[in-house]
Structure formats: structure tokens, C-alpha cells
Amino acid sequence: MNKARNRFILLTELIVILLLGLLLTVINVLNFTMAADDADFLTERIAREHGMFEEKKQNGQTQTAENRTTASGAHAETQNNNDKPFRLDNGHFRFMGPDSPEMKSSLRYFTFAFDKDGNAKSIDYRMSAVSEEEAETWARSLLNGTTGWTNMTYRYRVYEDGKQMVVTVIDQSRELWPCYRILIISVIGGAVFILISFLLTKLIGSKLFKPLEEADRKQKLFIAQLENEFKVPLTVINADTETLERQNGTNAQTQSIDKQVKRMTRLVKDLGALSVFEEPESSTKTELSDLLTAMLENSRQIFAEKKLTLTHTIEPDITLRINDEAAKRLLNELISNALKFSVSQAAFTLQKHRDRIKLIQTNDTTLPDGSYDQIFDRFTMLENAAGTDGSGIGLAHVKNIVKSCNGRLSAAVRNGTMTITLDL
């Protein structure tokens, strides 16, 4: 039950991490993508205006790059009709994006043109972080590109204007800083959220599994008491049967009673063992290849008596982290299953498959084709070729042992062949 609770917590946390990671990734990718789109809009706008923002006309004259600073005061005082599209009828400013008129005066950028001989010409230079000579060298290094980020926070565009190649680089550090801030908040906030969700999931898991653990405890206690209650009458019946045999000799009735008492004793013992099953210690390694080989050789005579052909293909030196007792129980149940369900032949295969161990038991059968995973459930009994009565508990032990090894198991019939596969 502890393992089931831990799996619940682990699975819940994985789902939380995946969903939260996906959400935060989408938010941040969209955030940086929108910042890149805004930057590309600006570089494209500058490219359309031949490497510099088109200057506003005042009193019939066009501003130049040299008198831009001196004209800025007059520009602020004499807003012309070009600004009107950025105002609503009530006089309030509408939402402004990268096409804002204020962006033209605040954007830091430089543009250099290069002729076919590689000679550089400064078209516009509005940058404080680098000198004009450094800017020229920087622009020259970008000639082989088209558009993208450079030095993390600068966006550039390379385009052709007439017979010259033009490079424009704009500073987007101010626009990217909120993006990085959101990224940092996402990482820290996501980690805090995962920690809180883990603590809440652990608390909820404990409360959720507490009734199940109590029910499991009561079930084990009930079966243990039931086992003790059965032992006394079965012991008495067995003793009385032995007394009758000593007094009157053995007959068909006493033999039948003895057979049924032994079967009931075995059933009660298996039921008790299954109810109090504990995960086997996994600190030791078992030589599974040697153990399976020895057990099959010891069972060969029994297969021969039942006129069953037994074959096996066992890869040597395969070990499994499980104690000997659990490994013997696992293999013994599979061998018993082969004896019950085989019509004429049975086979065992043990091999390494990547980092897993595959144990496959096959036998011919009269069962119809289909999936038979239900045979690993408690008290599930199928018609077998041997005609012997089963308890429906043996393969349930196999299921418990396999799951304790974090393995998988399956059973199916195809074309008259039953295949039980254990992936350990």
C-alpha cells in the first residue's frame, strides 16, 4: 500500500510538472516571439525608409540627422496632423505599439551601408553603448545574415537597398527586460508551486489512502483469523481419518477425505500467504539462470510422467535483484501452471532484452484465442488440460512478486499457444 501511495504522489507530481511546464513554456515563448516580432517591425520600418526613420516636415523643410536634436523642441511644441491617428476623438491616447511616434525618438539603433567593394557608409547612428567605429565593425560581421538576435538583446536586419547592402541594428534591451523578468518569475514561481503541490499531494495522498490501508489491515487480520479457524477443524478431520484408517483400513472414502483435507490445508495456507504478502527484499541478487535451469531439470520427470515435452532456452548469467525465496515461488508457480495447462508440450525462455529481463512460458492449450491477463487476479480459475483443481491463487503470487520488481506481465493465447510473458 505504501508503494501504491508513493506511485500516486509521483504520478500526480509528474502531471503537475508537465502541465505547468507546458503552460509556462508557451507563455514565455509567446512573450519572446512577440518581442521579436515588434523588433522586426521596427527594423522593417527603418528598411522601408532607407536606413533611418522618415523625418517629419516642419514649415516645408525636412529634418536631417544633424538638426534632429535642435528641432526636437519645436517638434514637441508643434504637433502636426501626423500625430492625430494616435489620438481618439475624446483626446485620450489610444494603445501604442512599436509604431508609436515616441518610439522614433527613443529607439537606439545604427545603420550602415556597404557597397560591392565593402566600403562602409554610416546612414544613421543613434547608439551610446558602442562607438561608431565599433558599430561599423559589428555591422560588417552581420552581412552574411538576414535577421535575428545578436549579443542577446540587439535585433538586426540585413537588406539590399539599390546596389548596396544595408545593416540595421536596434537595441531591444528595454523591451526584453520584462520578458526576462517574466521568465525568472516563471522559473521561481514554478518551483515554489511544484513544492507546494508536492506537500499538498502528500497530505491528500495520506488521507486518501488511509481508509484503504485500514481496509487492507482489516482484510489481512480477517484472513489470518480465518486461517486459524480452519486449521483446527482440518486438523481434527485429518486425525479422525487416520484413526478410521488404522481401525478399518484404507478405503475410497478415507482416501477422498484425506485428499480434500490436504487440498483445503494447501488452499488456506496459500490464501494466508497471499493476504500477508510483503514485497521481497531486493538487496540481494539471485542467479535466475541457474535457478530456473535447476528447477526445470528437477521437474523434468513430472513432465515425462504426464507425457509432456519440456524444452527451455536460458541465457546464462542472468541475475535479478530479488531474494531466493520469492524467485523460487515465482518460478514454481510458472512451472505448475505449465503442468496444468499444457496439452503435449511446454517451453521456457529466459533472456536479456536491453536493460530488462524477459521470462516467457509457452505451452499448447485448448483455450480459445484471446487475452488472459485475468488469470493473474485472485481466485481466477480456467479449464486446464490436466483436469486438476486449482485454487486461483498461484498466479496471483506471481503478479505480486513481479510488481514488487517493478515489472510487467501478460498472458494471451494465439493459435492454440498460451504465452505468459514476464518483463522484469
Cβ atoms of 96 and 88 closer than 8 Å: no
Count of CB atoms within 10 A of residue 402's CB?
19
Query: Amino acid identity of 259?
Result: K
On the question of pLDDT at 161 being above 90, the answer is: no
Enumerate residues 6+ apart whose C-beta is below 8 A from 423.
353, 356, 357, 358, 407, 408, 409
Hey, what domains does the chain have and what are their CATH numbers? 107-171 (3.10.50), 285-423 (3.30.565.10)
- Give 98-115 pLDDT, tens digit per residue: 666 677 778 899 999 999
Work out the pLDDT band at 339, boundaries 50, 70, 90.
Answer: confident
Q: Which of 342, 359, 270, 262 is nearest to 308 (CA)?
A: 342
Q: Which of 101, 109, 87 is nearest to 174 (CA)?
A: 109
On the question of pLDDT at 55 being above 80, the answer is: no
Work out the pLDDT band at 5, boundaries 50, 70, 90.
Answer: confident
Highest mean pLDDT among 48-57, 330-339, 374-383: 330-339
Phi, psi angle pair for 216, to nearest 5°: -65, -40
pLDDT value at residue 24: 94
Work out the pLDDT band at 95, boundaries 50, 70, 90.
Answer: low
pLDDT value at residue 66: 43
Angle CA(73)–CA(78)–CA(84) in degrees, nearest 5? Answer: 125
Mean pLDDT lowest for which of 47-61, 256-270, 283-297? 47-61
